Amino acid sequence: LKLLLQSQREGLNDPEVHATLAQLLFQKEPDQAVSHARIALKQPKLSIEPRLNALFALSSHHQSRQQPELALGYLDELIRLRRSASDWELRALCLLQKRDLPATIKALETAIGIDPNLLLARNLLAQLYEDQRQFELANTQKQIIRRLTQFLQQN
């Protein structure tokens, strides 16, 4: 991180450096991370992995700031580029912020389809099924959660 920041201060304006800085700074300095991600995405020659990191940083940032529309714009591109359960979970959280429950449920189902071991996604899905009065689907999720929890505790 120190070397990348120093090289940037010394004039290196490489989109992949900006994308890497966005990823490294995301937890501690989210505003700086967002700035680096935006700079990186402006470069048409940005390779795929740094592009994915920058898109995820920006979508996560906007979702955490209760700006689901902005986050969904980045997530749409991210989802077109890769198949990741965490992207679909984040999409579900954005859709939930917008109060679009049917789309939230679909996004959670997609996330679970990619990674069936997602306990948080399954918990939210069970809750949403109950809210929609789909009790059989909610109970199925709860049973799966219990089995997954037991399995994880044993291993």
Distance, CA of 107 to CA of 103 (rounded, Å) = 6
Q: pLDDT digits over 29-70, tens only?
A: 888 889 989 989 998 888 999 999 899 999 999 999 999 999
Distance, CA of 32 to CA of 22 (rounded, Å) = 7
Q: What is the DSSP string of 24-47?
A: HHTTT-HHHHHHHHHHHHT-TT--
What's the predicted TM-score (pTM) here? 0.86
Other C-beta atoms lying within 10 Å of the C-beta of residue 126: 21
Q: pLDDT digits over 113-126, tens only?
A: 999 999 999 999 99
Nearby residues of 1 by Cβ (< 8 Å), 6 or more positions away: 21, 24, 25
